[in-house]
Amino acid sequence: MGKLIGIDLGTTNSCVAVLENGTPVIIPSETGARTTPSIAAFTPDGQRLVGEAARRQAVLNPSRTIHSIKREMGSDFRIRIDGHSFSPQEISAMILAKLKADAERFLGEPVTDAVITVPAYFTDSQRQATKDAGTIAGLRVQRIINEPTAAALAYGVDREQPQKVMVYDLGGGTFDVSVLDIQGGIIEVLATAGNNRLGGDDFDAVLTDYLVSSFRKETGTDIRKDPVAVSRVREEAEKAKIALSSVRETHISIPFLTSGAKGPGHLDMTLTREKFDELTAHLVQATVKPVQQALADSHLTPADIGKVLLVGGSTRIPAVQALIRSLMGKEPFRGINPDECVAMGASLQAGVLAGSVKGLLLLDVTPLTLGIETMGGIFSPIISRNTTIPVKKSAVYTTAANFQSSVEIKIFQGERQMTRGNKLLGNFKLTGIKRAPRGVPQIEVTFEIDASGIVHVSARDLATGCAQAITITASGNLSQTEIDRAIYEAQAYAAEDNRRRQEASARDAAEALLYRAEEINRKNLTKDQKRAFDDAEKQLRRALRAKNSGQLPAASAQLEQLIRAYQTGG
């Protein structure tokens, strides 16, 4: 196994790090940026763009640009482009493949293994979907770990005095809060809570709606059905949100937002931090209940918490920091870039797995209760939320009808007493049960959660020994056949991307050859030499105009040979 990298697969931005000489190092993209936009796009001519390249063209190509796909992980959501249906795993795999390529370029060697982080409140199906995305991208996912736990590693709290730490993680699309107990190199998660659909995207959406409504009041024009115009507004809304984290007011100017019989319409206004706080107060307030729940589940009070760590770009919002001060009675700690600390922590966990980091143990928890459905749609818990993982627990059940030869095991995750209020993770049938009156057979159901939080369920008839097992892959996740197909397509497009890059390089080199040929003083050439140069240049220009660049190498070689002969006096 080569280098093990740590990846923060974020909603808005993603980040990758590697451990070098015991220190986490952020791996830059090919443009030198320390984070990569979690954006994928499909151009009209069939190219796939990821990261900064996708972000740059998003305003003019909104319908074929995908943002915030992390929010759909583990669901049956699909994106249809050019007759092809893409799952969230496939889009996420495009982002992961980009990070993998950046890491390989930085390290100068192939990268095959990774630790990937997920929000602590991700369900089992979302964790499995993240693992599948890594597989499609060509990565062996050695461990899925929770983002708050990774952040705590990056902050180095494992090297401080024993204490209770709260990690408040408000990212682009998800919110988590975790309470950790750190003692002697052991990081134990006591409780976690959160909201998988609360983050910076929601702040952007609220501000975008306000700007669109203000423009309508000012001009009488409603742009909501114009995706390009809305995309331009959303881009400026995000910039304004970022600016208001450091200044009291910002100017928003979008010239020529619309055009029509009344002439062009321009959006021009000043937005204050007070107005922004007023518009987004309900979003900030929505983080209070999870904080209180995590404290209650860990049987602690704010006074018991030694440090509050801020993670995620949205924690830069002053109103968020003010809320933490009010709730916890202490100044939050902001010692590391909140956009980078999760990837840094993931690389440290990679170091633990690789054996280069010693004396560190992570004890994470499962975020939601797991159990099965019993008669009447009642939820029967087997593993309670905030149970330390890995864990294995069993419970014995019986039949609901006389002389049953099989039972259906339905697995749910959630906190409601009735299964209809919880999430169905999967189901399977146990057959071969010894026929007997209801209540006689004894069926042992075992739940096992591995270190990545992935759930495995088995059932066994204690009388006959007949057993059945399942690794949970919810309905929104991919089958092995679909994963294999996605891997094949990802590899095919990687080859296509490589071909495009080689073609572009060949064209650039051909253009440079033509420029060098034009610089030659033709007065010093014989008639035959002039004719040879003219013919070679015509052939190369013809090859450049052709859709198929197969003629470029030969045409370029011919002209380059003439130039070299001239320069050497041959």
Return the active site residues: 8, 70, 147, 169
Q: Which two tokens stand for residue 248?
A: 């009291």
How many angstroms separate the Cα of 339 from the Cα of each of 13, 15, 96? 8, 8, 17
Which residue shows structure tokens 């019986």? 398
3-state secondary structure 104-155: HHHHCCCCCEEEEEECCCCCHHHHHHHHHHHHHCCCEEEEEEEHHHHHHHHH
CA–CA distance, 20 with 351 (Å, rounded to integer): 9
Amino acid at 556: S
Which residue shows structure tokens 């995207």? 201
Q: Which two tokens stand for residue 264?
A: 């062009």
Amino acid at 413: Q
CA–CA distance, 345 with 155 (Å, rounded to integer): 8
Give helix 88-107 / helix 480-519 axis angle, nearest 10°: 50
CA–CA distance, 223 with 213 (Å, rounded to integer): 9
φ/ψ bin of 542: left (φ > 0), alpha (ψ from -120 to 50), beta (otherwise): alpha
- The answer to whether residues 139 and 114 touch, using CB atoms and an 8 Å cutoff, is yes
Q: CB count, 10 Å around CB of 566?
A: 18
Q: CB count, 10 Å around CB of 363?
A: 16
